[in-house]
Amino acid sequence: MPVFKHFLLASVTLSVGVSAAPKKTKFNWHDTKHVIAFGDSYTYVQGTAGRQNSTFIGDYFNFPFTEEELLHNKIVQNQTATAEGGPNWVEYLTDCGLKPGLTSPLSCKTQLWDFAFGGADISTKYTPRHHNYTVMLEEQVQQFLTYAQPTLSKIVDPSRTLVAFWIGINDINDSANYAVDFPSFYDQLISTLFASVQSVYDIGYRNFLFMNLPPLDRTPGNVLKATPSPNTTMINWWDSSLTSHMHTFAANNPSANPFTFDVNTFLNNVLDHPDKYNIKNVTGYCASYNQPYINEAPESYGCLPLDEYAWFNNGHMTSHVHEILAKEVAQFLKKQ
């Protein structure tokens, strides 16, 4: 049992918060200086203090971290530093960690503090960990509240911070064969998600971005199946519940600025109109996606350049698609 377990069981009423809650302020993406992110492999970035292929900092067995460890941690950018073979959407959105090598979030114009964990679900109440070291979404938020916020409160202005949540990809896949009423089950999962969101709101953060599910019904594996799993109906149930909970959260917290970006509609449009985005293959992927020099010489592996695929592998989209997505998210945020 990790020594930090008591922190997870305790109510987080520590002196980690921001001082008195500010009044309702208008969100301004142009004025945003910090992004704090939670989620799974679509969102995690590799850190020098993180577990390889999983996280920016720590894991379930290395849960606590010090102020020095957080502030000296750097984003790694190389072929294996994300689940996309290159920068992902939060890196493109913030322009933080895009350059090959190491980048301190402190050096970025828009600082990226990423607590997402590759392979994460929302909570062990509903689905098991992918690995014994996986940090679930619920735990990511507890880790942030307990160990990161005391430090970030000194440098992060909540009114100029966007808190992003993108979760559910593993949840809907891991539970696809459960004998449950899926709309009710998804509602329970997303209720748990928003309990964590509420705890971030309660310490003073006001600007929240929620990303719904990508077109998981159109992964290379699913397009070959007569009955995809998860299917379009299941994804729509999830996305509908997410939107409903966001509206409830907004009604219960009138000083919040919550937004849901419709990833599903946008990326389905990308898959339907690939030529517009210089994509040539939307149903397969390069089987040698993780081989050395695949980016420099894809033809030697019998592949197109990876940027010409929509899918990086059977579960993740390419860095190119993440770049396309980030540009659309940025335009969405500018309009809010």
Nearest to 212 by CA among 175, 237, 242, 186: 242
| H-helix or E-strand spanning residue 114 | strand 111-114
Instruction: List b or e across 218-257, with b for residues whose CB sees 16 or more CB atoms inside 10 angstroms.
Output: bbbebeeeeebebeeebbebbbebbeebbeebeeebeebb
Polymer length of the chain: 336
Residue 5 is predicted with a pLDDT of 40
Residues 6 or more apart in contact with residue 239 via CB below 8 angstroms: 212, 213, 262, 264
Residue 294 is encoded by which pair of tokens?
């695949």
pTM here is: 0.93
- Going from the C-alpha of 214 to that of each of 48, 152, 236, 253, 264, the distances in angstroms are 28, 31, 11, 27, 5
Residue 147 maps to a domain: yes
Residue 306 maps to a domain: no
Number of domains in the chain: 1
Residue 125 maps to a domain: yes
Residue 25 is predicted with a pLDDT of 84
CA distance 143 to 9: 12
For 183, the domain range is 27-268
- Counting other chains too, the contacts that 20-27 makes at CB distance below 8 Å and 24 or more residues apart are 21/204, 21/255, 22/158, 22/159, 22/204, 22/206, 22/255, 23/255, 24/206, 24/254, 24/255, 24/257, 25/159, 25/206, 25/255, 25/257, 26/257, 27/162, 27/206, 27/207, 27/257, 27/259, 27/333, 27/336
CATH number at residue 119: 3.40.50
- Going from the C-alpha of 227 to that of each of 174, 217, 222, 230, the distances in angstroms are 16, 9, 8, 9
* Tens digits of pLDDT across the chain (336 residues): 344 443 343 333 333 444 444 467 899 999 999 999 999 999 999 999 999 999 999 999 999 999 999 999 999 999 999 999 999 999 999 999 999 999 999 999 999 999 999 999 999 999 999 999 999 999 999 999 999 999 999 999 999 999 999 999 999 999 999 999 999 999 999 999 999 999 999 999 999 999 999 999 999 999 999 999 999 999 999 999 999 999 999 999 999 999 999 999 999 999 999 999 999 999 999 999 999 999 999 999 999 999 999 999 999 999 999 999 999 999 999 999
Residue 219 maps to a domain: yes
Residue 288 maps to a domain: no
